[in-house]
Amino acid sequence: MGYRSIITALSASALVLAGCGGSSLGQSGGGQSGGEVKIGLLVPLSGVYAPLGEDMRNGFKLYLDQHGGKLGGRTIKLVTADEGAGPQTGVPAAQKLVTQDQAAAVVGVVNSATALGLRDFFHESKRPLLVANAGADDITGARKSDYVWRTSFANGKVGAALGPAVAEDAKGGVYLIAADYAAGREMVGGFRKTFEAAGGKVAGEKYTPFGKTQDYQPYLSAIRASGAKAVYTFYAGAEAVSFVKQYKQFGLAGETPLYGTGFLTEGGVLDAQGEAAVGVKTSLHYSTELDTPRNKEFVAAYRKAFNEPPTVYAVQAHDAAAVLDKALAKAPGAEGDALVKALGGVGPIDSPRGQWSFDADHDAQQKYYLREVRSKDGTVVNAVIRELK
Ligand code: PHB
């Protein structure tokens, strides 16, 4: 993932990246069977999560390139819009994709706050939104919609997967610290439930201003003063780099084990953290190190295309393309309701993360893994320790 550069030069391919307005095919959001279908890609091209957006774009593009630029037999015209740092930019960008560009479906969304801000718009405009990252619990929970589907995860579930393992490992109270917005609070909330149910004790809890915190020293001092025996956290993107590096510089890494959801040590974030991340343990539904033929083939293809290893963000977007491939094959007109019905019938997805399916709430039903950052061949990787139950 590009901490080196946020926007990569996209290679010439069957993929058409267009920023143009509606086409004659656009009136029903799809057009006649056999022609071109517009798909909107909404990912951050700016802000702390911009590199995650680049990974998602790469993952989606790889699937298209591997399938001759077609999904379900239809040539795809991809229209990309910038989610930016959150709903203020992400909501109008999505509205433009649907109303002006006439995208048959929108894929992407990194930030939980953007996803929450978009729910009613997609519900009311009856156009499918395939969330390929943002984990806001309500999107597939209290505020689920026929038109909203998720190929990634729910925040609470990624946190909950790790709770019992930390309760078992920790030698005393655990300090909870995360970015102060929906994702941070839900990843802590989900963790806390299973952690406390397994006998774990909380030594302190703190939420740091999202997108604005660069200096974690005051928070690290509070962690040390609390006497906590371990720390559990959610940060992603640029915040994850700062937190893990400062955790090490402050001297906590040697004395207080650090746990988190896997976004803490994913992709370019892990590259930037380097040796400072060694020993950090996380829960996630993917690792480049998953030892399966499907994942090895994916990692090799992704490396070949982008000259770097893939990430969970790339996999989630790649899988969104796989979902659309199956759905468009069943709903060749690509109209909202027909497409939504087809989404309900896509069945299991043969993903690099392992096979997964949509559950009744349109969330990904999948395995979670315990990962540990280890040095390997002169670099650092998320070694897979075991499946989490
Ligand atoms: C979210 O806001 O839901 C979110 C953002 C970045 C991540 C994971 C979740 O890495």
pLDDT digits over 164-181, tens only? 999 999 999 999 999 999
Ligand 1 and 316: CB distance under 6 A: no
User: Rg for the chain (alpha carbons), in Å?
Assistant: 20
The two beta strands, 368-376 and 364-365, are: unpaired
How far is residue 286's CA from residue 333's CA, in Å, rounded to a whole number? 33
Longest dimension (CA), the chain: 65
CA distances from 12 to 5, 9, 16, 43 (A): 19, 9, 9, 21
How far is residue 210's CA from residue 232's CA, in Å, rounded to a whole number? 17
Average pLDDT score, the chain: 92
Atom of ligand 1 nearest to the CA of 266: 10
SS3 track for the chain: CCCCCCCCCCCCCCCEECCCCCCCCHHHCCCCCCCEEEEEEEECCCCCCHHHHHHHHHHHHHHHHHCCCEECCEEEEEEEEECCCCHHHHHHHHHHHHHHCCCCEEEECCCHHHHHHHHHHHHHHCCCEEECCCCCHHHHCCCCCCCEEECCCCHHHHHHHHHHHHHHHCCCCEEEEEEECHHHHHHHHHHHHHHHHCCCCEEEEEEEECCCCCCCHHHHHHHHHHCCCEEEEECCHHHHHHHHHHHHHCCHHHHCCEEEEHHHHCCHHHHHHHHHHCCCEEEECCCCCCCCHHHHHHHHHHHHHHCCCCCHHHHHHHHHHHHHHHHHHHCCCCCHHHHHHHHCCCCCEEECCEEEEECCCCCEECCEEEEEEEEECCEEEEEEEEEEC
> Tens of pLDDT along 334-377?
888 999 999 999 999 999 999 999 999 999 999 999 999 999 99
Ligand 1 and 140: CB distance under 6 A: no
> How much distance in Å is there from the Cα of 85 to the middle of ligand 1?
11
User: How much is the pLDDT for 333?
Assistant: 83
User: How much is the pLDDT for 336?
Assistant: 85
User: How much is the pLDDT for 372?
Assistant: 98
9 pLDDT more than 80: no
> At a CB cut-off of 8 Å and minimum separation 6, what does 5 contact?
none
Ligand 1 and 236: CB distance under 6 A: yes
The two beta strands, 36-43 and 105-108, are: parallel
Residue located nearest, by CA, to atom 6 of ligand 1: 236
Atom of ligand 1 nearest to the CA of 110: 5
CB atoms within 10 A of CB 28: 14
**pLDDT classification of 5: cutoffs 50, 70, 90:** very low
Mutate to test the pocket of ligand 1, among 1, 49, 137, 188 (most ligand atoms within 8 A of CB): 49
**pTM as predicted:** 0.92
In this prediction, residues 286-294 reach a mean pLDDT of 98
In this prediction, residues 195-205 reach a mean pLDDT of 98
How far is residue 11's CA from residue 33's CA, in Å, rounded to a whole number? 28
How far is residue 306's CA from residue 37's CA, in Å, rounded to a whole number? 26
Structure tokens at 17: 């990246």
CB atoms within 10 A of CB 284: 25
Mutate to test the pocket of ligand 1, among 83, 150, 155, 185 (most ligand atoms within 8 A of CB): 155
> How much distance in Å is there from the Cα of 135 to the middle of ligand 1?
6
**pLDDT classification of 33: cutoffs 50, 70, 90:** low
Atom of ligand 1 nearest to the CA of 49: 6
- DSSP reduced 3-state for 291: coil
> Do the beta carbons of residue 200 and residue 163 sit within 8 Å?
yes
> Tens of pLDDT along 224-263?
999 999 999 999 999 999 999 999 999 999 899 999 999 9
Ligand 1 and 263: CB distance under 6 A: yes
> How much distance in Å is there from the Cα of 290 to the middle of ligand 1?
22
Dihedral angle computed from the Cα positions of residues 180, 181, 185 and 188, in that order, rounded to the nearest 10 degrees: -70
How far is residue 290's CA from residue 366's CA, in Å, rounded to a whole number? 14
User: How much is the pLDDT for 11?
Assistant: 31
> Tens of pLDDT along 322-346?
999 999 999 978 888 999 999 999 9
1 pLDDT more than 80: no
Structure tokens at 246: 């400062």
Atom of ligand 1 nearest to the CA of 114: 2
Backbone angles phi, psi at 39, to 5 degrees: -120, 130
> How much distance in Å is there from the Cα of 371 to the middle of ligand 1?
18
Structure tokens at 104: 């048959």
Atom of ligand 1 nearest to the CA of 134: 3
Ligand 1 and 114: CB distance under 6 A: no
